[in-house]
Each structure stands twice: as C-alpha cells, then as structure tokens.
Structure 1
Amino acid sequence: MIHLVGPYLLAAALVGLGVAGIAVRRNAVLLLVGVELVLSGGLVLLLTTQATGADRWAAGSVLPLFVITIAAAEVVVALAVVLAVFRLRGSIDLDAASDATDREEAP
C-alpha cells in the first residue's frame, strides 16, 4: 500500500503550476504547457485513486490511456492553430493577437 500524501501533493503541484501557467503566460506555447500540466495532474490523481482503491476499480487502468490520447490530440490541434496564427501575425503573443483583433473591428 502506498502513502497517499506523496501522489496527492504531486497532483496538486502539477495542477497548481498548470493553472498558474495558464493565468500568467501570454505566450501561446507556454499556455499549452500549462494545459498539459493540468492534464498530467489529473492523470496522477486518477492513477493514485485507482491504485489505492479497495475494490481496484477496473476502469482506472483504462482511463489513463484515454487521457493520454486526448492530451496528444489536443497538442496536435493546438500547435496547428498556434502555427497558423504565427504565420498570419508573425507573433504568438496572445495580447498582441487580441489587440490586432480589436483594431480590425474598430470603424
């Protein structure tokens, strides 16, 4: 039986760093890294609860495969969007993209 404090602290640290990265960063790539950290924290929490469960929840060993698949698909789509924005604007700064959008809408 594993101690619960270590994996729970790891999951909390990953989610906390991911949320901080999402809230603070203006760079689109670093924003994606923050999203991946949140997904990784959720995956650690899912695996911890599956490993420590009394009934050994059967779906706990299959769900991480879905989480990893969704994370990989999210990275591919998001990086494609980031590359398209970079080609269009020449920068991946999210504040600059929103400022350019505001200027285009102004009469």
Structure 2
Amino acid sequence: MYLNEMLLLGAVLFCIGVYGVLARRNGVLVLMSIELILNAVNINLVAFGAFHGTVTGQIFALFVITVAAAEVGVGLAIVLLLYRNRRSIDLDQVDLMKG
C-alpha cells in the first residue's frame, strides 16, 4: 500500500470522528468518536513509520493506545455518574450538574 492511501484512510476516519464529536449528544457515542480520532492518528503514525523504515511510529502508536485506554476509563466513569444523577446520558444536561 502507498503512503497516500494510508493518509487518506486516516483523514477519513479523523473527519468521521470530528463529525461524531460535534453532532452527537450521547456521551457513549462521543467517546467512540474520540476513539476514532485517536485511531486515525495511530494509522498515520504507523504509516509514516513504515514509510521511513523505522519502528518509531509503532512505538508512539502504543503510547497513544495507552492514553486512549485511560481516557475511556475516565470517560465511562463520568458517563455513568451522569446517568446515575440524571437518568440520561445526554450531554446537554451536563451543565445542570453545576453547584
């Protein structure tokens, strides 16, 4: 595969993820969209690493996967607390929890 094809795939995934973050109001779907964005970054890192013939892109991708796992854990905890308090995971109701 060529570098252009991998970068195009990463760009498409990134755009789908950004659309999901901006358009969705469901907390779980927003977390899934953030994961799509991070996976697009991983594809680009691995593609550039393979293009240059080094494993540096794969190493950075492993760090991104580690951060994404921690982000999912914290994000799901916040969504569960939101559901417990409001009986909905609609992100429009987050501002009601001030105070």
* TM-score between both structures, scaled by the size of structure 1: 0.84
Give deviations 1:83-107, integer Å, cap 9, x for gaps. Answer: 0110011101011333x34xx77xx
| 1:15 alignment partner, SS class | helix
How many Å separate the matches in 2 of 1:8 and 1:36? 17
| 1:38 alignment partner, SS class | helix
- Correspondence for 2:94: 97
- Correspondence for 2:28: 29
| CA positional deviation for 1:59 | 2.3
From 72, 75, 78, the counterpart of 1:75:
72
Alignment root-mean-square deviation, CA: 1.5
Q: Which amino acid aligns with 2:73?
A: V
Q: Which runs of 5 or more structure 2 residues have no equivalent in the other structure?
A: none
Bigger radius of gyration, 1 or 2? 1
Q: Does 1:5 align with 2:4?
A: yes
- Correspondence for 1:17: 16
| CA positional deviation for 1:80 | 0.6
Q: Which amino acid aligns with 1:74?
A: E
| 2:49 alignment partner, SS class | helix
| CA positional deviation for 1:29 | 0.6
How many Å separate the matches in 1 of 2:94 and 2:64? 30
How many Å separate the matches in 2 of 1:36 and 1:22? 10
- Correspondence for 2:46: 47
- How many residues are treated as equivalent by the alignment? 99
How many Å separate the matches in 1 of 2:24 and 2:51? 35
